[in-house]
Amino acid sequence: MNIEDNIITAEAGKVFRRKIDGMLFSEEIYLGLTYYLNGVKLETPIQEKPDDFEEIDIEVQTEEID
């Protein structure tokens, strides 16, 4: 993971998953305030930190067509 200012970037072939609710994100996140978790509005927004996210491998699923 590369951290620069409020931007975190995952390693090649990885994306981010938010630890608290499992929501998937792309390979780059601009950290800020979170207003919703699991579709529920929070009474008080929380400030996102790099530690709130984990890098996971991108899973590619393919289907063979006859």
Please state the domain count of the chain. 1
Measure the CA angle with vertex 23, ends 9 and 43; round to 5°: 105
Average pLDDT, the chain: 92
Is residue 14, in this structure, part of any structural domain at all?
Answer: yes
From first CA to last CA, the distance across the chain in angstroms is: 40
| Residue 62 pLDDT > 90 | no
Is residue 36, in this structure, part of any structural domain at all?
Answer: yes
- Using only the alpha carbons of the chain, give its radius of gyration: 14
| Residue 19 pLDDT > 80 | yes
Is residue 64, in this structure, part of any structural domain at all?
Answer: no
Is residue 47, in this structure, part of any structural domain at all?
Answer: yes
Residue, of 29 and 39, whose pLDDT is higher: 29
| pLDDT tens by residue, 1-11 | 999 999 999 99
Is residue 63, in this structure, part of any structural domain at all?
Answer: no
What is the span of the domain harbouring residue 43?
2-57
Compute how many other C-beta atoms are within 10 angstroms of the C-beta atom of residue 29: 20
Give the per-residue pLDDT at 59.
Answer: 77
| C-alpha distances out from residue 50 to 7, 10, 34, 61, 63, Å | 9, 11, 13, 28, 35
Is residue 39, in this structure, part of any structural domain at all?
Answer: yes
Would you state the structure tokens that stand for residue 52, as one six-digit string? Answer: 């709130």
Give the per-residue pLDDT at 3.
Answer: 94
